A and B are shown apart, each in its own frame.
Chain A
Amino acid sequence: MRHDFLDRYSRIDSPVHRLPAAIKLLAALAAVLATVAAPPSMPWLMAPTAIFLLAAAAVSRLPWRFLAVRMLTLEPLVCGVAAMALFQPGGWRLMLILVAKCSLCLFAVVLLSNTTAFSDLLRVLKAVRVPGLLVTTMALAYRYLFVLVDEAQRMKRARLSRTFVSGRAGAWRAAATVIGQLFARATERAERIYAAMCARGWR
């Protein structure tokens, strides 16, 4: 399953993985805050954060290649937006600082998500009194997004198997039909899940 790669490393063993989720979440948020708060006039303030994150990455035993790939797939957007900074005095420098800031924050989150199981993060959120309805919605969303993505893929393939004329209009129509069907199926599945929850005593 191609979407497996997201979770692949969240359950390997390392000192970082073994840390409680709350600490990792706090550390990530602190790293992001520290990076964002560093004013453009003093970019070297980001250095300690960078060193900390790199050290954490090393201890976490996450494969460097994997991390690099994750970062690279997320960079284009960053560079695109940062390119707008070019059109002003001192643009190059600002753009580089922006890219550095972004990348550092990205790195913090990539580390967090790959060393912590999502369910652990949710538990932390619940502990800090994030409303239960929101946490449950996130848990269900996470649980079923893979299921729905698979369904969408199957529908798309089925459709493609019977599509002999390719064209942009056709592709749009096909995507729209698949999405429409997906919604109908999602609501039906929600009903079944509701029944399953009630069947096990949910109030």
Chain B
Amino acid sequence: MHIPDGFLDVKTAATAAVVSAAAVGVALRQARLRLGPRSVPLMGLAAAFVFAAQMLNFPVAGGTSGHMVGSVLTAVLLGPSAAVIVISTVLIVQAMVFADGGVMALGANIFNMALIGAVGGWAVYRLVCRVFSGLRGQVLAAAFAAWCAIVAGAVACAAELAISATVQWRIVLPAMAGVHMLIGFGEALMTALILASIAKVRRDLLDRQTASASASYRELAVYGLLISLGLAVFASPLASKWPDGLDRAAQTLGFEGKALAEPVVASPVPDYRMPGVGSPAVATSIAGGAGTVAAFGLAWGLARALVPRKRPAFTETPAAG
């Protein structure tokens, strides 16, 4: 889901960059307060961990292999603010060193994967945890949240691509959302497996962060605000009808004679109606709903399978490593 450079236009990239910078700023302050000086090496290593985890492939259908993203996993293990910093770090290093994801598109990638992915996913996680308690609840919540994070991030990505007039909304949304619903299942599965594995050996790592949940509602509110702000700006009719500065220059200078360019430069979301209102939209909603239910069911099944009902009372902390 790393958007390379060239797919987003300047205004979208800039908007996303501003919102993401603000969010990272908030996260930095919060992480320092919450975790203290220990947070510095912890977050650095967590970022290295996410890198290494992303390099571990597992087979997917037909000879291809996939890897996980890990934003919800990080958020569950370290808290939302630390996760924002960790994922942002990973994205920045990936962009600057590995050329994986664009440098200008960093703002958008951070918005999609760190903000919507990690923070949004974490919010879903905590919500579901309130309903289902215990370790099973945690695994279920995390798996479902992971799926949601992937899909939500993909939808945001699609929106950004459409707003940039790179691809049309009615094409990019089903394509991105559809593919990522499937990818999301993989992510949910891996997240559940990993959490169950960590719970078996180092239960304290899982519980460490849950204890400090109450103080984070204000954090969440701030992030929620930033996410909404970003979405509002992206989706606002103004943004979509606003041609690029250069394009305007081209128009006035009379260069834009190419009829081919017209359908793309014009607003992809005409009059702020979802294009294709009617059966395609309904179909999309049904597909989305079905996917969500399926993801929840998968998460449930995983939690049941991976976490035994009766946990033996631990008389001593199990040795790790």
Contacts and interface: CB of A to CB of B under 8 A. Distances in A.
Interface of A: 6, 28-29, 32-33, 35-42, 70, 74, 77-78, 81, 84-85, 87-90, 93-94, 98, 101-102, 104-106, 109-110, 112-113, 118, 121, 131, 133-134, 136-145, 147-149, 151-152, 156, 168, 171-173, 175-191, 193-194, 197, 202-203
B233 interface: no
B45 A102 contact: no
Contacts of B264: 40, 88, 90, 94
Contacts of A145: 47-48, 51-52, 93
Given A98-B6, A193-B45, A137 B86 contact: yes
A171 B103 contact: no
B235 interface: no
8 contacts: A90-B261, A105-B103, A121-B96, A131-B28, A138-B92, A139-B44, A145-B93, A183-B49
**6 tightest CB-CB pairs across the interface, nearest first?**
A140-B44, A101-B6, A176-B193, A105-B5, A180-B197, A141-B47
A84 to B, nearest CB: 5
B45 A190 contact: yes
Contacts of B22: none
Contacts of A143: 44, 48
B260 interface: yes
A185 B167 contact: no
Interface string B55-72: 111110000000010000
A99 to B, nearest CB: 8
Contacts of B246: 37-39, 42
Interface string B169-192: 001100100000000000001100
A58 B138 CA distance: 54
B298 interface: no
Contacts, number: 270
A88 B264 CA distance: 9
A148 to B, nearest CB: 4
A6 B98 contact: yes
A137 B55 contact: no
Contact of A110 (B51, B55, B99, B321): B99
B48 A140 contact: yes
Nearest to B186: A172
A140 B9 contact: no
Given A6-B97, A105-B104, A136-B40, A183 B198 contact: yes
Given A41-B255, A41-B258, A74-B100, A133 B40 contact: yes
Contacts of A175: 56-58, 190
A90 B98 CA distance: 32
B167 A88 contact: yes
Nearest to A99: B6
A186 B53 CA distance: 11
B32 interface: yes
Contacts of A42: 246, 250, 255
Nearest to A105: B5
Contacts of A112: 96
Output the residue of A140, A177, A203 with the most chain B CB within 10 A. Answer: A140
B263 A90 contact: yes
A173 B102 contact: no
Most B CB contacts (10 A, CB to CB) among A84, A183, A184, A185 go to: A183
A42 B195 CA distance: 51
Contacts of A133: 28, 31-32, 39-40, 43, 85
A137 B52 contact: no
A184 B321 contact: yes
